[in-house]
Structure 1
């Protein structure tokens, strides 16, 4: 049975979150708008303002809700988390206030699943408490996210692993207390068994941040928070491998599915806010003797934005429901994979479309930095590359669907009307007789 209702107890939590994000988290965005400010443990003023908000979230039982009960979380499931992330998407600071900022969420799951007791005490506890931040260091300058061309390696030398090579777009590395690094440990093994994952403390000798790269939408091109890192024979103890040797692929996959859903629903939340701006502008501004909202071209933009956003929201919620069904044992493992890919592919285009329409309706004010729309629109392309390039997901999705049909028999397609009509008449030769 399909049911879109939300039980009253959880709806009350969502209502509290919505009000809190609008009044407190959006205020944080205004008070501390600097690039990467929400990840900087050394930003004293921001942390002083942040801590009481995080404590209030904890009192409400809404802290770090992405973790399941086996990892110390409430076990809400992906549908409830999706509805929560829709609200968190309204404000840049909201995920940090609620203990669900990426990449820390996925990294916490990896440590909880694969870390040693000592690693959990040193890193997972402080990470879940919001005391430190972390970095996921995977992609490389020469090949992006394609693991087939990764060259950063880890070689066993006695009781230590020696990591050597370069990584690219390692987000928040300059603020992180530790990095999760994927490195090639068995170059001749099959692709899915070639790499392993390591937890690397950032104070380890040999870690060199070549540059902190800024992206579209950032204000300061010299102060980005996506690091180009060089690992110069970085040595970590043997037990700093997470999971089995050659199991880096499996470890990394443990963090992706739910993370993509959370990312998608935060995109819905930001687009909802852009839509609110669009609607307010349409009933506030007059041109050619009419309110903007009375002009048909503006009405078309509003209608298209509403429809696109609702379609995407329902796709994401269905995908979240499918993940929950797998967890409950009612669907086969891997069933949501195609839908997760759909969410990833659609996310950037929906975001660009809705935010772009809101920007257009605001005119010159929209492209100014007096409104958040220009910054949002400038950064939208990053969604096409986060969690892997969109083109790769499109190709994977198409290949999955191409496995379903069988080639047509004969010269014409199976829906060829004359051929089907002849077959129908052969079955019922007297059907057309008067």
Structure 2
């Protein structure tokens, strides 16, 4: 792999960095935010600014109105956008919309793309991905999917309960995963204002960076026409992998920006804050934390870029994206945790952005597959490959 970025990607990266610094970070204290994320009014203002700057939805295809970025280009741009917790919202690359846009590009019919994808790429509507369920339904183990879909004439009736559905409040449409009568899974598209969909509540969560928060959705005989099936019947789990492998990686990209922001804040503070006769950064204990931060940031970036490069070569990267997700979520978390420690009292108050980053980031080690599940999955694949190689000898 050649780690040199093209002049075009560098220019876009630098333009994104400037946009975040000048147009987004000044809005971080805007009152149009709550514990459930930025308001729709704030989202629309951020999107308008990104549209004017020519940076809106850069990962979408040019045909749909995006910039058609490669995965490597996304790695550079998404990190810069992630430097502010409002940056992904501004560029329309926040979860779950970013992953849904990718899935819709790959699987949706031309009619479905015109109805839902094109206005989403334009930043005019939002979406959610309804898969996770309370016990005993699907969580880290998707095979426990409990929401059902039953054929009724030319329609399907959906019944079930979903929770931790990011962006549910205010979403215009949803991608719903449901179990068919034969035990397979299918994805369905639905407008959120259809009869049979109830947003029971928005859940209180540690993070507050996702527009629409995390909702509990109930489906009671939700009627979805067969024309709104996403892809083919029975291939829901396969399409989930189409969505999840790149989406895991884009989470790593965005949170890398936040981790770098935390490190920058800690470095600036420890250079100027005096204790015991010299700057904190000159004390070995603090200096070691700065060095460890740099190593973790670099390690995370290498995993991201390498996996992005493989995706650009056409590889599926299920194994590599799992590896990157574990490495990055844990390395980036260590960076933020050390930064809190170095900042002392400032790190645990709103005097510094690092406290906000700390509370927002913790869930990253859980969603899109907990670290333990990815390690377990990787181990199974490693054993399988070893057995296969041994049998071939």
Structure 1, unaligned runs of 5 or more:
189-193, 327-332, 410-434
Q: Which of the residues 87, 95, 98 maps onto 1:94?
A: 87
Match of 1:207 in 2: 197
Cα offsets for 1:209-254 (capped at 9, x unmatched): 22211212449xxx97211111111112121111111011122222
Structure 2, unaligned runs of 5 or more:
none
SS in structure 2 at match of 1:199 = strand
Whether 1:256 and 2:244 are equivalent positions in the alignment is: yes
Cα offsets for 1:271-292 (capped at 9, x unmatched): 1111111110111101111110
Match of 1:177 in 2: 172
Cα offsets for 1:34-86 (capped at 9, x unmatched): 34444x43x2xx2564354123232xxx3322124565544331111101111
Q: Report the aligned-residue RMSD.
A: 2.3
Asked whether the 8 Å contact 2:146–2:179 carries over to 1, the reply is yes
Q: Which of the residues 278, 296, 302 maps onto 2:266?
A: 278
Whether 1:395 and 2:376 are equivalent positions in the alignment is: yes
Match of 2:12 in 1: 13
Q: Which of the residues 131, 134, 137 maps onto 1:141?
A: 134
Match of 1:196 in 2: 186
Question: 1:6-155, aligned counterparts within 5 Å?
Answer: 6-31=5-30, 32-38=32-38, 40-41=39-40, 43=41, 46=42, 49-50=45-46, 52-58=48-54, 62-68=55-61, 73-142=66-135, 143=137, 144-155=139-150
SS in structure 2 at match of 1:254 = helix
Which one scores higher on RCO, CA 8 angstroms, separation ≥ 6? 2
Q: Which of the residues 149, 152, 157 maps onto 1:157?
A: 152
Asked whether the 8 Å contact 1:139–1:146 carries over to 2, the reply is no
SS in structure 2 at match of 1:164 = strand
TM-score, structure 2 normalization: 0.91
Equivalenced residues, count: 385
SS in structure 2 at match of 1:229 = strand
* Structure of higher CA gyration radius: 1
Question: 1:257-336, aligned counterparts within 5 Å?
Answer: 257-326=245-314, 333-334=315-316, 336=317
Cα offsets for 1:176-200 (capped at 9, x unmatched): 0111100001344xxxxx1101011
